[in-house]
């Protein structure tokens, strides 16, 4: 099947194709919620923390009684969490002991181009003797065995994450386990008295399917590097039937009757979620959003439900003192059905508690002024019968540049989509100005780096690239769309 053969399988807005697991699914709410390990620096220098991560195959216990071989950062899925401070540099040395090349991208990072994880800047495995067929194309070039990625963290506190970004194979590599949290804290956040430490919980939500042998099942088209990584019928996205939170199927978390901060990340390849607490607390509004992709909001926003597309982050506070001790609260997915309608649950333990209200004002970051935009650009995200997923009619080709924004200026970008496309822009966050010439949506508040474009929609965003000249990416974060070339280079200069 070629592109057209794949295309006819799509209905408008169809979210992807379900790949059923080949082993019996476990019952929900049996496994305690794991918290990914926090990575300790191997050393410090003035202003810089040094980290080391070995990418390797590890056997994980995900489904009770089943072993799952996975591609991991440091032996766990999610990988270890890097906890950083705004203004303090981190240098992360990655060593690749996996069977294939990799690329590390810090999603949401304000990162120099040579460390941004350009899809051709491969980190070859330690054992890879070849090289003639590989070429680095970006500023980061090609490395063998190990390489350093430098993150200056000249950015606000925010929930970032890191994941693989290799050209054409990102969907496969992330599905195999290459994803982790990278949190940035700052003083503005410190001063607010938000829930912290063991009441500040990252939640990475993914869907996966499992083969009969316990391995992660993925319809990979071809094992050769540089080939598009998914079989054509799955070109609108691979959906699994098992929901994992922090790598555990439908886990359960005991909570005290007080406030918790949850950093929700949808790290799924293609699945969108509508997350809701069931039951809602009396009066509703159980998910109080305090932050989005790019850090804290100006003030909290109470939601009954949250739509979360791939790569988006929502920082929420849930106040369990609004529930009676002994209550079991499910976090459900209203866009799912059957096994994918459940996500995880919280069991409120006694004694009954009381919580201080959240501050009404959170972060005071200035808004971008679209009236000062020096350029307006349009990007069409669409399916082309001749070459599949494309931006402005072109499938991705490394080195082909779609835009050259000037550093230090504000631009307005019009993003137009045919189906659902979670569009992500590297380097700097943006603000949503409008959707279909109307006000932004309920989930668009704050600084975003990924916008959930709906079918047949035109959104406008304001974006300002401040510093770091070089080659960056704009792409759909449905990872199968990305691998099937819905991506473009832009160069800041
Ligand atoms: Cu999270 Cu370019 O990706
Ligand atoms: Cu897409």
Q: Contact 131/124 with Cβ under 8 angstroms?
A: yes
Q: Closest by alpha carbon to 70, among 173, 182, 206, 221?
A: 173
**What mean pLDDT is predicted for residues 304-316?**
98
Whether 163 is in the pocket of ligand 1, judged by its Cβ within 6 Å, is yes
pLDDT digits (tens, 9 = 90+) for 265-288: 999 999 999 999 999 999 999 999
Please report the pLDDT score of residue 232 as a whole number: 80
Q: Residue 481 C-alpha to ligand 2 middle, in angstroms?
A: 5
Q: Please tell me the number of the ligand nearest to residue 426's CA.
A: 1
Q: Which residue minimizes the CA distance to atom 3 of ligand 1? A: 107
- Residue 11 pLDDT > 80, yes or no? no
Query: 3-state DSSP call for residue 386?
Result: coil
Whether 475 is in the pocket of ligand 1, judged by its Cβ within 6 Å, is yes
Whether 311 is in the pocket of ligand 1, judged by its Cβ within 6 Å, is yes
pTM: 0.96
Give dist(CA 249, CA 33) in Å, integer: 9
Q: Please tell me the number of the ligand nearest to residue 309's CA.
A: 2
| pLDDT band, very low/low/confident/very high, at 2 (cuts 50, 70, 90) | very low
β-strands 200-208, 242-245 pairing:
antiparallel
Please report the pLDDT score of residue 32 as a whole number: 98
| pLDDT band, very low/low/confident/very high, at 5 (cuts 50, 70, 90) | very low
Q: What percent of the chain has pLDDT over 90?
A: 87
Average of per-residue pLDDT values in the chain: 93
**What mean pLDDT is predicted for residues 71-100?**
98
Whether 105 is in the pocket of ligand 1, judged by its Cβ within 6 Å, is yes
Query: Which residues are registered as beta bridge partners of 179?
Result: 163
| pLDDT band, very low/low/confident/very high, at 136 (cuts 50, 70, 90) | low
Task: Specify the ligand 1 atom closest to the Cα of 482.
Answer: 2
Tally helices (H) and strands (E) across the chain: 4, 35
Handedness of CA 406, 410, 415, 420 (dihedral sign): positive
| pLDDT band, very low/low/confident/very high, at 456 (cuts 50, 70, 90) | very high
pLDDT digits (tens, 9 = 90+) for 378-435: 999 999 887 789 999 999 999 999 999 999 999 999 999 999 999 999 999 999 999 9
**What mean pLDDT is predicted for residues 93-97?**
98
Please report the pLDDT score of residue 217 as a whole number: 97
pLDDT digits (tens, 9 = 90+) for 137-187: 677 889 999 999 999 999 999 999 999 999 999 999 999 999 999 999 999
Interface pTM (ipTM) of the complex?
0.99
Whether 147 is in the pocket of ligand 1, judged by its Cβ within 6 Å, is no
**What mean pLDDT is predicted for residues 245-255?**
98
Task: Specify the ligand 1 atom closest to the Cα of 311.
Answer: 1
Q: Please tell me the number of the ligand nearest to residue 419's CA.
A: 2
- Residue 131 pLDDT > 70, yes or no? no
Task: Select 199-349's CATH number: 3.40.50.12160, 3.40.50.720, 2.60.40.420, 3.40.50.300.
Answer: 2.60.40.420
Q: Give me the residue spans of the domains in the chain.
A: 199-349
Q: Contact 432/461 with Cβ under 8 angstroms?
A: yes
Structure tokens given for 240:
């699994």
Place of tokens 């529930």: 323
Task: Specify the ligand 1 atom closest to the Cα of 107.
Answer: 1
Q: 266 preceded by cis ω (within 30°)?
A: no
Q: Closest by alpha carbon to 177, among 145, 203, 208?
A: 208
- Residue 4 pLDDT > 50, yes or no? no
Q: Closest by alpha carbon to 16, among 393, 336, 339?
A: 336
Give dist(CA 281, CA 157) in Å, integer: 29
Q: Contact 388/7 with Cβ under 8 angstroms?
A: yes
| pLDDT band, very low/low/confident/very high, at 309 (cuts 50, 70, 90) | very high
Please report the pLDDT score of residue 135 as a whole number: 57
Please report the pLDDT score of residue 221 as a whole number: 82
Cα distances (Å, whole numbers) of residue 234 to 172, 237, 300: 12, 5, 38
Q: Residue 482 C-alpha to ligand 2 middle, in angstroms?
A: 7
Q: Please tell me the number of the ligand nearest to residue 236's CA.
A: 2
Q: What percent of the chain has pLDDT over 70?
A: 94
List the single range of 8-12, 340-344, 345-349, 364-368 with lowest mean pLDDT.
Answer: 8-12
Q: Contact 216/176 with Cβ under 8 angstroms?
A: yes
Whether 165 is in the pocket of ligand 1, judged by its Cβ within 6 Å, is yes
């Amino acid at each position: 099947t070629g592109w057209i053969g794949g295309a006819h399988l799509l209905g408008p807005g169809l979210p992807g194709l379900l790949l059923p697991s080949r082993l019996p699914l476990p019952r929900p709410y049996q496994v305690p919620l794991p918290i990914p390990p926090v990575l300790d620096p191997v050393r410090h220098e003035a202003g810089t923390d040094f980290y080391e991560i070995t990418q390797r195959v590890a056997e994980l216990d995900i489904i009770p009684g089943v072993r799952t071989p996975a591609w991991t950062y440091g032996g766990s899925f999610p990988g270890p969490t890097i906890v950083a401070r705004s203004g303090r540099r981190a240098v992360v040395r990655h060593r690749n002991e996996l069977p294939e090349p990799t690329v590390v991208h810090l999603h949401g990072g304000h990162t120099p181009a040579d460390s941004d994880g350009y899809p051709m800047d491969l980190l070859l495995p330690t054992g890879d003797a070849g090289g003639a067929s590989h070429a680095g194309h970006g500023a980061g070039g090609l490395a063998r065995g190990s390489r350093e990625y430098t993150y200056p963290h000249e950015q606000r506190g925010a929930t970032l994450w890191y994941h693989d970004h290799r050209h054409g194979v990102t969907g496969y590599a992330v599905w195999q386990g290459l994803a982790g949290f990278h949190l940035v804290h700052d003083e503005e956040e410190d001063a607010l008295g938000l829930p912290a430490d063991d009441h500040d919980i990252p939640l990475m939500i993914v869907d996966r399917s499992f083969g009969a042998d316990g391995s992660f099942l993925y319809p990979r088209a071809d094992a050769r590097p540089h080939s598009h990584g998914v079989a054509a019928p799955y070109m609108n996205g691979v959906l699994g039937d098992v929901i994992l939170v922090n790598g555990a199927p439908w886990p359960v978390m005991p909570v005290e009757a007080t406030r918790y901060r949850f950093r929700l990340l949808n790290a799924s390849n293609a699945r969108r979620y509508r997350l809701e607490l069931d039951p809602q607390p009396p009066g509703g509004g159980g998910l109080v959003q305090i932050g989005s992709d790019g850090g804290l909001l100006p003030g909290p926003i109470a939601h009954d439900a949250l739509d979360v597309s791939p790569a988006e982050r929502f920082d929420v506070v849930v106040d369990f003192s609004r529930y009676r001790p002994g209550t079991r609260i499910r976090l459900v997915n209203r866009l799912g059905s059957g096994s994918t309608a459940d996500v995880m649950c919280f069991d409120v333990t006694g004694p009954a508690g009381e919580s201080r209200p959240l501050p009404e004002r959170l972060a005071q970051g200035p808004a971008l002024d679209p009236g000062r935009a020096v350029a307006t650009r349009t990007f069409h995200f669409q399916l082309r019968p001749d070459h599949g997923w494309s931006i402005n009619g072109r499938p991705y080709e490394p080195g082909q540049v779609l835009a050259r924004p000037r550093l230090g200026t504000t631009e307005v970008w019009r993003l137009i989509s045919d189906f659902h496309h979670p569009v992500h822009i590297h380097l700097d966050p943006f603000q949503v100005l409008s959707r279909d010439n109307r006000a932004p949506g309920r989930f668009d508040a704050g600084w975003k780096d990924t916008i959930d474009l709906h079918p047949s929609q035109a959104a406008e965003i304001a974006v300002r690239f401040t510093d770091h000249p070089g080659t960056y990416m704009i792409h759909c974060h449905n990872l199968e769309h990305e691998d099937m070339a819905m991506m473009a280079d832009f160069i800041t200069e």
